[in-house]
Amino acid sequence: MTLLIKGARPYGEDAADILVKDGRIAAIGESLSATGADVVDATGLVALPGLVDLHTHLREPGREDAETVESGSRAAALGGYTAVHAMANTDPVADTAGVVEQVWRLGQEAGLVDVVPVGAVTVGLSGERLAELGAMADSAARVRVFSDDGHCVADPALMRRALEYVKALDGVVAQHAEEPRLTVGAQMHEGDRSARLGLTGWPAAAEEAIIARDVLLADHVGARLHVCHVSTAGSVEILRWAKSRGVQVTAEVTPHHLLLTDECAEGYDPVFKVNPPLRTDADVEALRAGLAEGVIDAVATDHAPHAVEDKETEWASARPGMLGLEQALSVVVATMVETGLLDWRGVADRMSARPAAIGRLDGHGRPLTPGEPANLLLLDPGTRAVVDPAALASRSRNSPYAGRELPGRVVATFLRGEATVLDGKATR
Ligand SMILES: [Zn+2]
């Protein structure tokens, strides 16, 4: 099977043709031709490596009314992704080889992105004893990222043991950093606004205290630590300090924390309720700067679909979480590219190369060069569109970007040379 992509701009640079043969990039250059090839006109479109998400909630098994591996995979492909890590807080929890293999197989069957299961750190996400980390690593799903996301591994002795185990597996613990004793009943960022709105606050210190503790533990053990959804300026400071000391720590930021602030809570619309919460303008500025600098390694969506009955209720009882996969690249274009903080190579690094490296994924996050797997996307950066939740591929509708105009449209996505998205539509 041969594919010829004409006139694309790899990394936003000079136009070139991209020839794909048998799932790999065969050549990149001017005026390429190939008899019998499928031709895609990509004039003016930016070509980037397929995106890799470290943090997706696909909800299957257990909450197929909110999302399935297939619907979430379709949303991911439409967002330009070729691989997503599926978080472990399903029902049953992905804490055994059996469950992670089930999720991995469902991903293979959907065939739209590579679905890479994350394994739970503790049995049932209970924070009490370690799950079968080795069995999950050795399974067909080849788990390398372990996380109790949704919950913090709060017990420091258990966290230390988890780090020791994953070190031997060449894995990483992805920590949802939230000291639970400091966030009992928390509803939004703790500050002037939470006091005025009468909502219990989630203090920045609850995140920063765990990150500080965990970088010290990771340093002591010599293991890799990954910090999920960093949301505060203080967290960026701690990460900068840890990296300067050579601690093996990586971190991610979500699109919503790059764009939105706690001001969104003013109308008590629970679509803006998320954990960790939306923070202040100063935090957003620090997160953008941290991502530009590389202190924050990756953008990860924390795509969190919720059924209407769990989300469209009063603020206090609504589940935290937001959709992210389909708009992530647009939000990064708006917050990082149009502001001059990142160029297209920077976007490829933070949304593809580094997340793939953190997850130890083969065949993803590779540069657009001959010989590499043809995992790539084509983006029209000039198109701006208003987000309509009803038009999303996700089974859920809880998009915080509803009604907001965002730049950039993913026109096509290719997984090992096969189109999963063409003309902005999923091919299956
Ligand atoms: Zn989380």
For position 357, what pLDDT does the model report? 98
Do 128 and 200 belong to one domain? yes
Q: Which of 258, 232, 219 is nearest to 350 (CA)?
A: 258
Tell me if 392 is assigned to some domain.
no
The domain of 171 spans 49-358
Token look-up 């309720």 returns: 273
- Give percent above pLDDT 90 in the chain: 100
Structural tokens at position 151: 């919950």
Distance (Å) from CA 178 to ligand 1 centroid: 9
For position 1, what pLDDT does the model report? 86
Tell me if 281 is assigned to some domain.
yes
Distance (Å) from CA 123 to ligand 1 centroid: 17
Do 168 and 290 belong to one domain? yes
Tell me if 98 is assigned to some domain.
yes
Distance (Å) from CA 39 to ligand 1 centroid: 42
Tell me if 401 is assigned to some domain.
no
For position 152, what pLDDT does the model report? 98
Distance (Å) from CA 275 to ligand 1 centroid: 6
Cα dihedral 120/126/127/130 (nearest 10): -50
Over residues 31-71, the pLDDT tens digits come to 999 999 999 999 999 999 999 999 999 999 999 999 999 99
3-state secondary structure of 28: strand
Distance CA 2, CA 23 (A): 8
Would you please indicate which residues are annotated as catalytic (active-site) residues? Answer: 302
Tell me if 239 is assigned to some domain.
yes
Q: Which of 315, 309, 332, 235 is nearest to 269 (CA)?
A: 315
Distance (Å) from CA 274 to ligand 1 centroid: 9
Do 26 and 114 belong to one domain? no
The arithmetic mean of pLDDT across residues 155-180, rounded, is: 98
Task: Give start and end residues of each alpha helix (H) in 333-387.
Answer: 344-348, 354-358
Distance CA 217, CA 112 (A): 38
Q: Which of 255, 251, 222, 259 is nearest to 234 (CA)?
A: 251
User: Strand 405-415 to strand 418-422: parallel, antiparallel, or no bridges (unpaired)?
Assistant: antiparallel
User: Residue 117 is part of a domain; what is its CATH number?
Assistant: 3.20.20.140
For position 126, what pLDDT does the model report? 97
Over residues 256-291, the pLDDT tens digits come to 999 999 999 999 999 999 999 999 999 999 999 999
Average pLDDT value over all residues in the chain: 98
Q: Which of 180, 186, 183, 175 is nearest to 212 (CA)?
A: 175
Do 41 and 104 belong to one domain? no
Residue 352 has pLDDT above 90, yes or no: yes
Do 256 and 351 belong to one domain? yes
User: Residue 416 is part of a domain; what is its CATH number?
Assistant: 2.30.40.10
In this structure, which residues have their CB less than 5 angstroms from ion ligand 1? 149, 176
Query: Count of domains in the chain?
Result: 2
pTM score? 0.98
Tell me if 54 is assigned to some domain.
yes
For position 124, what pLDDT does the model report? 98
Do 32 and 124 belong to one domain? no
Over residues 101-114, the pLDDT tens digits come to 999 999 999 999 99
Per-residue confidence band for 321, with pLDDT thresholds at 50, 70 and 90: very high
- 207, 278 Cβ separation under 8 angstroms: no
Do 55 and 166 belong to one domain? yes
Over residues 6-30, the pLDDT tens digits come to 999 999 999 999 999 999 999 999 9
Tell me if 63 is assigned to some domain.
yes
Do 175 and 241 belong to one domain? yes
Do 313 and 412 belong to one domain? no
- 60, 359 Cβ separation under 8 angstroms: no
Distance (Å) from CA 161 to ligand 1 centroid: 21
Do 9 and 154 belong to one domain? no
Over residues 187-222, the pLDDT tens digits come to 999 999 999 999 999 999 999 999 999 999 999 999
DSSP 373: B
Tell me if 365 is assigned to some domain.
no
Q: Which of 27, 34, 35, 32 is nearest to 7 (CA)?
A: 32
Do 85 and 31 belong to one domain? no
Distance (Å) from CA 151 to ligand 1 centroid: 7
CA 296 and chain centroid, separation:
13
Do 313 and 339 belong to one domain? yes
Distance (Å) from CA 152 to ligand 1 centroid: 8
Residue 368 has pLDDT above 90, yes or no: yes
